[in-house]
Amino acid sequence: MTRDPPANLEPAASAELLAHANPVFQVIFDDLKQRIRRGEWLPGERLPSISQLSKTLEVSTGSVREALRSLQSIGLVKIEHGRGVFVTGWRPTTDLSHYFQNLGTGLILALAETRRIIEPELAALAAERATDGELAEIEALAKEMEDEALRGLDFVEPDVQFHRRIAQSARNPILFRMMESVNDLFLESRQLTSLEPGMTARAVRYHLLIADALRSRSAAQARLLMLAHMNDTLSGVLAAESHAHQGASEGRSPPKLPKPL
């Protein structure tokens, strides 16, 4: 059974959702990521509390919490409720963004093309190999994205985890490691494409439909829906690149992406 998109999330509503986006989050995310990779906090070490980081960085606790969740989604930290946030380490040999000096739409376009090749097959494999518990978790993440979008929040954490859980459920360790290696680039891509009108609404709808196909164990449907989602993402990157070039020709500064390490 498929779902219709939420009435509140038609393309016209995406601009309203973006108005609530928190640009401070990306700055905090980049700062903490670089400090971890410089060795300021070593693997296994506990980070300062959210309130301490908030005071040090002079930002809200909500922005810090959002950044920490995203750091957890790419495997740099682990949040243990009641204990704190701990550094898990880093993967210098598999983090592809580490090897690029200039991160821009060209690299983001390459990522979108790569995901279009890999993720539909991961979805098909997950439909065949995932446990019922894993499928329930994937569906819950899709619903969490819908709920957060309706509340005007950026659903970066469940979004990243949705695709990660599908890759895990496919039971192919090589493909999973390939997807893990581009997690940082995925976040950069997401920041860029979310600026395109309608992308937020369509992303929510695709995730719900993909979750339905997975729950129905329909590998063919899961593959087709994920391919449609990846094609839409690629179109968003191409549109953003076109807008950046147009802005440059008109003397306007293109949107800036966070600098890589």
Q: In angstroms, rounded to a whole number, what is the distance separating the alpha carbons of residues 186 and 258?
A: 12
Q: In angstroms, rounded to a whole number, what is the distance separating the alpha carbons of residues 200 and 178?
A: 25
pLDDT in tens, 152-167: 887 888 898 899 999 9
Q: At residue 210, does pLDDT exceed 60?
A: yes
Which of the four pLDDT bands, split at 50, 70 and 90, describes residue 104? low
For the record, the structure tokens of 198 come out as: 């309608």
Q: In angstroms, rounded to a whole number, what is the distance separating the alpha carbons of residues 103 and 24?
A: 20
Neighbour tally for 55: CB within 10 Å: 13
Q: Which residue, 14, 48, 13, 12, is CA-closest to 32?
A: 48
Instruction: Give the lowest-confidence range in 83-92, 126-135, 197-206, 213-222.
Output: 83-92
Average pLDDT over residues 106-114: 85
Q: In angstroms, rounded to a whole number, what is the distance separating the alpha carbons of residues 16 and 211?
A: 26
pLDDT in tens, 25-83: 788 988 898 888 877 887 888 999 999 999 999 999 988 998 898 888 878 899 998 89
Q: At residue 227, does pLDDT exceed 50?
A: yes
pTM of the model: 0.62
